[in-house]
Amino acid sequence: MRIFVRCIIALLAITSVAAVSGVGRADTQPETKVTLQRTPDGGIQPQAVVDEKGVIHLIYFRGEAKAGDVFYVRSADGGATWSTPLRVNSQPNSAIATGTVRGAQIVLGKNGRVHVSWNGSDSALPKGPDNTTPMLYSRLNDAGDAFEPQRNLITWANGIDGGGSLAADSKGNVYVFWHANAGAEDEADRAVFMARSTDDGSTFAREIKINLDATGACGCCQMRAFIGADSALYVLYRAAGENENRDATLLISHDGGEKFFSTVLQKWELMACPMSTFAFAQGTEKTSRVAVAWETEQQIYSSTITPAAILQISPPAAAPAQGKNRKHPTLAVNARSEVLKAWTEGTGWARGGSLAWQSYDAEGKPTIEKGEQNGVPVWSMPTAVALRDGTFLLFY
């Protein structure tokens, strides 16, 4: 009898532990930790990347929204401490945060060099042709202790409004993109342009038009560029065909930007500019899928692109539940191919909002790691990175 009672007690103890830990439950999923962190130095519009050593490289905006500065910091301890901020723009007040879509973007290139591009403010120099707003670029110097003097990359394709983007690889190729009217009268005639460097950003060739189809480009939407682990070059922008076809449109090049082909990720008819942004992310394996996210009709959608000889793009998947004016997605993928997707809720013109996030396992199924947080500042957006231990850090 005593042996029977002891067995019952042991069985109850095991059952209790299983209930707490999730062992033996069919609906249990491994938890992926997400840590929230405010942008350092009270900045807004954080943008971050992680290098091969696990160092976080982050830029942010400070100052008046119409004319402020971009700063760069790095952290070698997972965001616990940060380096002394370096100003990216060599001319004070030559960056802009108004509208959330015109801010700076950061990428890492050959030997981990930091490259940054941004839309210039009204007072930014050097000006574009006919005294127009410049598309500015700078890179961290060889010593890593300052940024080189900012340069305008527009030589003829002027008339920018929404934000440009950039991408770089380990071979010394750097690409800066923007959309502009270049003399056109409306959005339906806008186009996407690229300036390319083959010497790690020392010099850039004259820009070329890369969207051969007459899609137009949504005037005040941001672009996003990305280079996959298989060296494919992706450029995502919002079209404006007939001034109402606001399709999320993807350009892809497999030859280093010599030629691009185009595909539509999702259609959206709208007789207005939604002032939207985009996101890319990929795991460390060459064969891992590229994750991409965008906004359509105040909801966040995402797809995965499978590197293959024949392009494979999954159908658009909506973020869970319904939110209020969901915008500005960010993505991160860890070494286990788990994905963190985050976005803003309720933000708008001169209005802040809240942050929401959801993590997914390697098969794309939602995990228990999700949440919301108030306090996204005016004109700001989140950025997510995956750390070497598999956890995620989400800045806002």
334: containing domain: 296-396
Judge if 331 and 260 occupy the same domain. no
Helix (H, G, I), strand (E, B) or coil at 112: helix
pLDDT band of 322, cuts 50, 70, 90: confident
Judge if 226 and 363 occupy the same domain. no
Res 10 pLDDT > 70: no
Please check whether residue 60 is in contact with residue 39, taking contact to mean a CB–CB distance below 8 angstroms.
yes
Q: Is residue 58 part of a domain?
A: no
**φ, ψ at 237 (rounded to 5°):** -145, 170
**Structural domain ending residue among the three candidates 217, 246, 277:** 277
Res 373 pLDDT > 60: yes
Q: Is residue 82 part of a domain?
A: yes
**What would the DSSP string read from start to end of 130-193?**
GGBPPEEEEEB-TTSSSBPPPEE--SS---B-S--EEEE-TTS-EEEEEEE-TT-SSGGG-EEE
What's the whole-model pTM score?
0.92
β-strand pairing of 392-395 with 34-37:
parallel
Helix (H, G, I), strand (E, B) or coil at 17: helix
Judge if 303 and 268 occupy the same domain. no
Q: Is residue 9 part of a domain?
A: no
Please check whether residue 334 is in contact with residue 391, taking contact to mean a CB–CB distance below 8 angstroms.
yes
**φ, ψ at 145 (rounded to 5°):** -115, 5
Q: Which pLDDT value is given to residue 12?
A: 37
Average pLDDT, the chain: 92
Q: Which helix (H) or strand (E) holds 74?
A: strand 67-75
pLDDT band of 16, cuts 50, 70, 90: very low
CA geometry: angle 149, 155, 156, nearest 5 deg? 155
Res 219 pLDDT > 70: yes
C-beta neighbour count of 49 within 10 angstroms: 17
Sheet with 353-360, side-by-side order of all strands: 327-333, 339-345, 353-360, 366-376
Judge if 113 and 259 occupy the same domain. yes
Q: Which pLDDT value is given to residue 169?
A: 98
Q: What is the CATH number of the domain that holds 191?
A: 2.120.10.10
Q: Is residue 30 part of a domain?
A: no
**Structural domain ending residue among the three candidates 277, 305, 340:** 277
- Rounded to a whole number of angstroms, the CA Rg of the chain reads 22
Q: Is residue 34 part of a domain?
A: no
Res 4 pLDDT > 70: no
Q: Is residue 37 part of a domain?
A: no
Res 20 pLDDT > 50: no
**What would the DSSP string read from start to end of 260-288?**
-EEEEEE--B-SS------EEEE-SSTTS
When divided into structural domains, the chain yields a total of: 2
Judge if 131 and 184 occupy the same domain. yes
Q: Is residue 12 part of a domain?
A: no
Task: With CA atoms as reference, report the closest residue to 72 among 39, 99, 101, 98.
Answer: 39
pLDDT band of 1, cuts 50, 70, 90: very low
Judge if 127 and 234 occupy the same domain. yes
Judge if 365 and 246 occupy the same domain. no
Judge if 301 and 211 occupy the same domain. no
Judge if 264 and 352 occupy the same domain. no
Judge if 248 and 300 occupy the same domain. no
Res 79 pLDDT > 50: yes
- For tokens 């996407």, the residue is 192
Judge if 243 and 308 occupy the same domain. no
Sheet with 383-386, side-by-side order of all strands: 34-37, 392-395, 383-386
Judge if 129 and 241 occupy the same domain. yes
pLDDT band of 31, cuts 50, 70, 90: low
Structure tokens given for 276: 């939207």
Q: What is the C-alpha separation between 92 and 228, in angstroms, rounded?
A: 34
**Structural domain ending residue among the three candidates 220, 243, 277:** 277
